[in-house]
Copies of this chain bind each other. A is one copy, B any other.
Amino acid sequence: MASDPLNTVTADVQLFTKDHPLSFAKGGQLTEVTVRYETYGTLNENKTNAVFVCHALTGDAHAAGQRDGEKKPGWWDSLIGPGKPIDTDRFYVICPNLLGGCQGTTGPSSINPATGKSYGLGFPALDMRDFVSVHRGLVSHLGIDTLLATIGGSLGGMQVLQWALDAPQDMASAIIIAASSRLTAQNIAFSAVAREAIMRDDGFSGGQYVDEGTSPDTGLSIARMMAHITYTSEGALWDKFGRSPQNTDLSGDLGVDFAVESYLQYQGETFLDRFDALSYLYLSRVMDYFDPFAHDGACELLSDHPVPTLVCSFSSDWRFSSRQSKRIATRLERAGVPVTYQEIEAGVGHDSFLLEIPDYLELVGNFLDYRLEVAHDSSR
């Protein structure tokens, strides 16, 4: 076996059972919830160096490192690894696949043990609080009292925010990147079109496509292609593709002809191999409904237990703009939370949070370094 400098552990754990079911925030229960997670690095003796990573809409538990035979490393390999901002030589990093997902954790396309068929649209409606319930179950399973930090981008950042509001005592700090505390009408509109494309695909079979042996491939790839445009920026697409033809000349017909078309089609196609249509529906819907500050007293717990928080956005992100990140920062600050807000200059839109941007890596790295200093100091 090749040496693994990240000390990667991949595991499945059944966190909820018949005797200890998962109750959903909006109603419903599941008596079997398995969670797939990965860890990197080593938990120190005092258990003060754990960093919990929450993934975005189409992420998974495989955040870092490159397995044999894989074309690409984990989705956040830019940030996680030896000597990187989330330094696996010093931190113990935990990243689970989300409840409702499709990469090892129980989701709507999983088999319902009560029926022997996939849950389909019978899967309970999801809420951001349900993700937090499951994350907390995993932390407890790992025997950790207090996380050094929770961190996530996009939907991952929303989980961090919800967690900080629901159970601030679980974490010594929080990092919320390229997120939103309240989707705009435009955000919801884009998601709505994606969901329409999926649900109106004949292969969707009313959500029971796993059992029917069909698949809403067209709808899911259309959804992905459209979403991908919104994850990047006008300038980034121009810099990368301009008006270049995919082949030597423009053919002039209706099919794929420009390089940008070919790229988008590739994004749509490859997405089918790694993602599930029902997971897309359920997870994107959680984002639409997320609006934690709309509730009176949302910040009460956090005010009593203020968690130092880094909020970070990217200048060219028009899907979740800096305005949306600033709203999170100001609401938290108003609740008495020590907040650092930083907009990173970056040209590639929302997906910047996945990329190796020096100012960004430095910001996250410095914040975590300091949190570790504080943790060491308080345990001395």
Contact = CB atoms under 8 A, between A and B. Distances in A.
Interface stretch (A40-48, A145-153, A257-265, A352-360): A257-265
Given A196-B265, A258-B192, A182 B288 contact: no
Contacts of A318: 234
A188 interface: yes
Contact of A268 (B196, B243, B260): B196
Contacts of A243: 182-183, 185, 188, 291
A184 B222 contact: no
Contacts of A268: 196
Contact of A258 (B26, B237, B288): B288
Interface stretch (A246-254, A305-313, A369-377): A246-254
Interface in A49-87: none
Interface stretch (A167-175, A197-205, A296-304, A337-345): A197-205
A193 interface: yes
Contact of A189 (B125, B195, B218, B237): B237
A3 interface: no
Give the one of A26, A221, A256, A264 with max B CB within 10 A.
A264
Given A195-B254, A253-B125, A237 B200 contact: no
A185 B289 contact: no
Contact of A184 (B199, B202, B226, B234): B234
A113 interface: no
A189 B282 CA distance: 26
A260 B187 CA distance: 10
Contacts of A201: 218
A224 to B, nearest CB: 10
Please state the number of chain copies in the assembly.
Answer: 2
A171 to B, nearest CB: 28
A195 to B, nearest CB: 6
A289 B289 CA distance: 40
A26 B252 contact: yes
A136 interface: no
A18 interface: no
Contacts of A250: 289
A90 interface: no
A117 B12 CA distance: 59
Interface of A: 26, 121, 125, 182-186, 188-190, 192-193, 195-197, 199-202, 218, 221-222, 225-226, 229, 233-234, 237-238, 240-243, 250, 252-254, 256, 258, 260-261, 264-265, 268, 281-282, 285, 288-289, 291, 318
Given A185-B241, A189-B237, A200-B222, 15 more contacts: A121-B254, A185-B237, A185-B240, A185-B243, A186-B234, A189-B261, A192-B260, A193-B225, A196-B265, A197-B197, A197-B218, A222-B222, A234-B318, A250-B289, A254-B282
Interface pairs A-B: 5 shortest CB-CB: A185-B237, A192-B261, A186-B234, A185-B260, A185-B241
30 contacts: A121-B254, A125-B252, A182-B243, A184-B237, A185-B234, A185-B237, A185-B238, A185-B241, A186-B237, A186-B238, A188-B260, A190-B226, A192-B256, A192-B258, A192-B260, A192-B261, A193-B225, A193-B226, A193-B264, A195-B254, A196-B222, A196-B225, A196-B268, A197-B197, A200-B218, A200-B222, A222-B222, A226-B226, A252-B289, A254-B281
